[in-house]
Amino acid sequence: MKNAHLKVLEDEAIYIMREVAAQFERPALLFSGGKDSIVMVHLALKAFYPAKIPFPLLHVDTGHNFPETIEFRDNLVKRLGVELIVGSVQESIEKGRVKEETGPDASRNALQTVTLLDTLKEHQIDAALGGGRRDEEKARAKERFFSHRDVFGQWDPKNQRPELWDLYNGRKNMGESFRVFPISNWTEMDIWQYIAQEKIEIPEIYFSHERRVFNRRGVWLADTEFVNRLPEEEIVTKVVRFRTIGDATCTGAVLSSASNMDEIIQEVAAARQTERGNRHDDKRSETAMEDRKRQGYF
Amino acid sequence: MILTPEPDTHYLNMDLLRFTTAGSVDDGKSTLIGRLLYDSKSIFEDQMEAIEKTSRSSGEEEVNLALLTDGLKAEREQKITIDVAYRYFATPKRKFIIADTPGHIQYTRNMVTGASTAKLAIVLIDASKGVLTQSRRHAFISSLLQIPHLVVAVNKMDLVDYDETVFNRIVADFREFARKLDIQDITYIPISALKGDNVVSKRRTDKNGEEKDFMPWYNGSTLLHHLETVRVDASDNAVDFRFPVQYVIRPNQNFRGFAGRIASGRVSVGDEITVLPSRTTSKIKEIVTYDGNVEQAFPGDSVTLTIQDEVDISRGDMIVRRNNVPEVTSQFEAYLCWMNEEAMQTGRQYLLMHSTKTTLVYIDEVIYRMNVDTLERETSDELLLNEIGRVRLTTAQKVFIDAYRSNQKTGSFIIIDPASNVTVGAGMIRSKTTGKVSDTNNDTNAITEDNRKISPNVVWEPWNIDREEREKRNGHKAMVLWFTGISGSGKSTIAKALERKLWELGKHTILLDGDQVRHGLNGDLGFSKQDRSENIRRVGEVARLFFEHGNIVICTFVSPYAEDRAKVKLLFPEGRFHEILVTCKPETAQQRDPKGLYDKAKKGEIKGLTGYDEQHEMSNEHTIVIDTDKTTVDESLLTILDKINSED
């Protein structure tokens, strides 16, 4: 017996994915290696079974990934037999499209936007399926399932189309595109419950493990070659896990001993912090997320 | 890694309720949602910190819970909500999705958007202000969008000292208004979102730190308890199988599957099906899902169907059961909400998106515009932003429609402007066009015209020969002449004479008489108010059948209740139903006493005789009034015939 509310969310997400496949010429699924995009791939498998997923996965590689993420991605692509497009932030820097940030908080997170837009344009992607959820951040609460982007790939909150019933209007002019969010209505808890129910494989770093970390303004960051550590920031070894997986420079770990799905679900249920609470990028200003979205962020 | 442990059963079997909240800036809607999230522990520490910071920086004393929901920068600066925002919270019983919509008039489109996916609506009323225009507008939109459950949350009870009489007065006012609407279930709850009373729990801590119930006179559920327990699945149409084909899955030569989501009804392997528009027939071979094939699938399921014969099926087609087919038509009528700054124009080409089909469409005519505040019908050639009207449409390709009332998925559509590609309108299908119905009177019962009893398993059979065709051959219009008045007023005498006269003029007539129907058709009914209403309702439906067959239907019924007669009137196009009040002094009627009823009433043998110990309700609907104390039968006939002819 399946969980009733997850069934509704799954049916809805599959419906959206099929609408995308039907309404657009060249869609792609944005794949970060994080749990949300892994769930998205699982839903896409279901939506088009017994056929293969009819669109490529697109990964924007900041070059600052956890190695587990890349390994997981490559295995998944091989297993499913789908096309993988990689947009490289490193290349964007080398081509002079973006300038690397400096200083201790330097992150390639913001630079990703340019690489993403360039890659979408290069491959003429007219609909990018993303794993964004409305519960993540308040700027996302008003996001549509079918989110219209102008020719610059930008999001204008005032110019979004009303969405009624389950009628999704994907019509657009030349050069315009859409971001589509099939799991808009899911919460973090739904994602974890679904991963457990469907027995979906996820990268090891979501489960507790020992890691060398240091504390910056209350966030535990992993000690990696990509982060400019300040002299007073001391490295310690802690039992941690990640609630989200993004760029290693700005994704914080949580102190946790949750080593299996059951324990993770218990932990999420008891959590008093949102998952993005550990995201340094959102803490830059009160409207950080909204500002980035306008520019074409995921 | 492979995950073996089963999930914690505590979270299993939660279902999902989508609800919408509407209220104006001052009704405390955002505060209410903030309260629901906060008290159900769905707010995280970092979110709380963020709003505490913002509250402080804008100089507010208390933490402003409304900040939790007012998302975008511009909105927070103006302290209003300008778009539909979706919020999520869960209790161990249910997961909730809130479509939070602003309440101001210029945001009607947002309310409609939020309502389109909701199974329940919360209308907020400020206890210190009472039922305002906008409360009525919210209720009207909920009714138009057919939301099955409405909660009237009377907020700010703390401002009126938790006074029961204030609450009762608001409930009475709202009830009076709601009689005109088509909402099955309305629940009234007195709350204070600011303080927390009756939101999550009845009791809260007062300023002395003691647990207290501030409204002991209220015995109903708290708002959250109601949200957790209200039935959510009852409104799904489980009967009429409709499967709009979304996408064709064809991995190889041997597999051809039709992917889609079941809009309504259910389907089983082996079912005999018809494919629209080709009307090809076949049988369901398999119901395919990634998790294995299934024998049966239900409303809302995303599945892939294969069929036994090789049939050419593509996106936009619809698979239905062979003996239960929707209307296949290119002309229909609908309520349309306009959502764009650029006004709707008749005769302009738009695109219509209905289920998985998109086709060109013309909006031929605005039959009337609905004033969403007064519910009056107004004449108009166009619809402006946020206006709602009844329109007639013609599509380039045929669409497969059901009335929105019986099927939301196949009864709804959006209008797209092909120049900008923007969604500009949202429509709810009323019916296939059946002749021109032009009515622009100020009839406040606008919505109840759809409020007819429909047996759940019955599909409307279109008329074999249209009324228009019949009228053409008969050489006269069909109409209903409804005689109302107390026993002995002279209804039957005039009606019989009138029928004879019409008969002689070669008209097709039917006479329905109160006593006759009570001998057979309505033999199971007594004379309680309820039975009398049911008597009139049935007669109205019978009259409609004869009317649609081209007849002049003459009905003679005491029909004492104005509301019952008004409901019957709504079954007919404007100008085709004439209510004729036949009246006389009570003494005259008692003296005539053709059936000896007054005599029996005087002896106490019967009770509730209209005209004796029961009132006959007058109304403004009477087209003709005949006072038989002053008029002869022949004079009456002339008056009636004049009136009929002047309408022609």
Q: Kindly state whether residue B60 falls inside one of the protein's structural domains.
A: yes
Cβ separation of B72 and A200 shorter than 8 Å?
A: no
Report residue A169 as tokens: 């209007």
Backbone angles phi, psi at B2, to 5 degrees: -100, 135
Comparing B608 with A298, the larger pLDDT belongs to B608
Please name the member of B44, B73, B353 whose beta carbon is closest to the beta carbon of A277: B44
Q: Kindly state whether residue B155 falls inside one of the protein's structural domains.
A: yes
The angle formed by the CA atoms of residues B493, B498 and B504, to the nearest 5 degrees, is 135
Give the span between the Cα atoms of A57 and A129, in whole angstroms.
9
Based on the fold, state whether residues B91 and B209 are members of the same structural domain. yes
Print the domain residue range for B415: 327-435
| pLDDT at B437 > cutoff 90 | no
Name residue A244's amino acid. T
Q: Sign of the C-alpha dihedral, residues A158, A164, A170, A171?
A: negative
> Is the separation of the CB atoms in A236 and A213 below 8 Å?
yes
Based on the fold, state whether residues B506 and B385 are members of the same structural domain. no
Report residue B358 as tokens: 């998109």
- What one-character DSSP code corresponds to residue B276? E
Please name the member of B12, B47, B116 whose beta carbon is closest to the beta carbon of A3: B12
Please name the member of A4, A204, A266 whose beta carbon is closest to the beta carbon of B8: A266
- Mean pLDDT of all residues in B443-464: 48
* A94: closest CA of chain B, how far (Å): 35
Based on the fold, state whether residues B273 and B380 are members of the same structural domain. no
DSSP three-state, residue B34: helix
pLDDT digits (tens, 9 = 90+) for B508-566: 999 998 888 888 888 888 888 888 888 999 999 999 999 989 999 999 999 988 888 88
Q: What is the pLDDT of residue A140?
A: 78
Cβ separation of A265 and B257 shorter than 8 Å?
A: no
Based on the fold, state whether residues B249 and B367 are members of the same structural domain. no
Report residue B355 as tokens: 């289920």
Q: Which residues, in sequence order, are CB contacts of B387 under 8 Å at separation 6+?
A: B108, B337, B338, B369, B370, B372, B380
Domain end position, chosen among B229, B255, B287? B229
Q: Kindly state whether residue B441 falls inside one of the protein's structural domains.
A: no
Based on the fold, state whether residues B246 and B204 are members of the same structural domain. no
Based on the fold, state whether residues B332 and B317 are members of the same structural domain. no
Based on the fold, state whether residues B201 and B248 are members of the same structural domain. no
Q: What is the pLDDT of residue B203?
A: 86
Domain end position, chosen among B175, B197, B229? B229
Domain end position, chosen among B279, B302, B321? B321
Q: Choose, out of B15, B100, B249, the residue to mutate when testing the contact with A (most A CBs < 10 Å).
A: B249
Rg of chain A over Cα atoms, rounded to whole angstroms, equals 19
Based on the fold, state whether residues B306 and B339 are members of the same structural domain. no
Q: Is B49 on the interface with A (CB under 8 A)?
A: no
- What one-character DSSP code corresponds to residue B599? H
Based on the fold, state whether residues B386 and B487 are members of the same structural domain. no
The tens place of each residue's pLDDT in chain A, 298 residues long, gives 467 899 999 999 999 999 999 999 999 999 988 899 999 999 999 999 999 999 999 998 888 788 888 899 999 999 999 999 998 888 888 888 878 777 777 777 777 888 888 899 999 999 999 998 988 776 778 888 999 988 887 887 666 789 999 999 999 988 889 999 999 999 988 999 999 999 999 988 899 889 888 888 878 888 887 777 888 888 899 999 988 877 777 778 888 888 888 888 888 877 655 565 555 555 444 455 555 556 666 5
Based on the fold, state whether residues B207 and B248 are members of the same structural domain. no
| pLDDT at B579 > cutoff 80 | yes
Buried b (16+ CB within 10 A) or exposed e, B18-52: bbbbbbbeebbbbbbbbbbbbbbebbbebbeebbe
> Residue B313 is part of a domain; what is its CATH number?
2.40.30.10
Closest-CA residue to A106 (of A214, A229, A235) = A229
DSSP three-state, residue B379: coil
Cβ separation of A50 and B14 shorter than 8 Å?
A: no
Q: Is B250 on the interface with A (CB under 8 A)?
A: yes
Closest-CA residue to B514 (of B455, B440, B551, B564) = B564
pLDDT digits (tens, 9 = 90+) for B140-199: 899 999 998 999 999 999 999 999 999 999 999 999 888 888 887 899 999 998 888 999
Q: What is the pLDDT of residue A58?
A: 95
| pLDDT at B572 > cutoff 70 | yes
Closest-CA residue to A296 (of A177, A146, A144) = A177
Q: Kindly state whether residue B393 falls inside one of the protein's structural domains.
A: yes
Q: Is B77 on the interface with A (CB under 8 A)?
A: no
* A96: closest CA of chain B, how far (Å): 32
Cβ separation of A166 and B71 shorter than 8 Å?
A: no
Q: Kindly state whether residue B273 falls inside one of the protein's structural domains.
A: yes
Cβ separation of B289 and A46 shorter than 8 Å?
A: yes
Q: Kindly state whether residue B463 falls inside one of the protein's structural domains.
A: no
Based on the fold, state whether residues B566 and B533 are members of the same structural domain. yes
Q: Kindly state whether residue B442 falls inside one of the protein's structural domains.
A: no
Surface-to-core class of residue B110, CB atoms within 10 Å of its CB (0-12 exposed, 13-18 middle, 19+ buried): buried
Establish whether B559 is a catalytic residue. Answer: yes
Can you give the pTM of this predicted structure?
0.74
- What one-character DSSP code corresponds to residue B631? -
Cβ separation of A15 and B255 shorter than 8 Å?
A: no
Closest-CA residue to B123 (of B257, B222, B22) = B22
Please name the member of B11, B247, B413 whose beta carbon is closest to the beta carbon of A18: B247
Please name the member of B90, B249, B422 whose beta carbon is closest to the beta carbon of A51: B249
Q: Is B87 on the interface with A (CB under 8 A)?
A: yes
Q: Kindly state whether residue B527 falls inside one of the protein's structural domains.
A: yes
Catalytic residue among B135, B282, B355, B559: B559
pLDDT digits (tens, 9 = 90+) for B249-284: 999 989 999 999 999 999 999 999 999 999 999 999
Strands B94-102 and B15-23: parallel
Based on the fold, state whether residues B40 and B186 are members of the same structural domain. yes
> Residue B487 is part of a domain; what is its CATH number?
3.40.50.300
- Total domains present in chain B: 4
Q: Choose, out of B6, B97, B250, the residue to mutate when testing the contact with A (most A CBs < 10 Å).
A: B97
Q: Which residues of B touch A243 (CB under 8 A)?
A: none
Comparing A113 with B455, the larger pLDDT belongs to A113
> Is the separation of the CB atoms in B508 and B552 below 8 Å?
yes
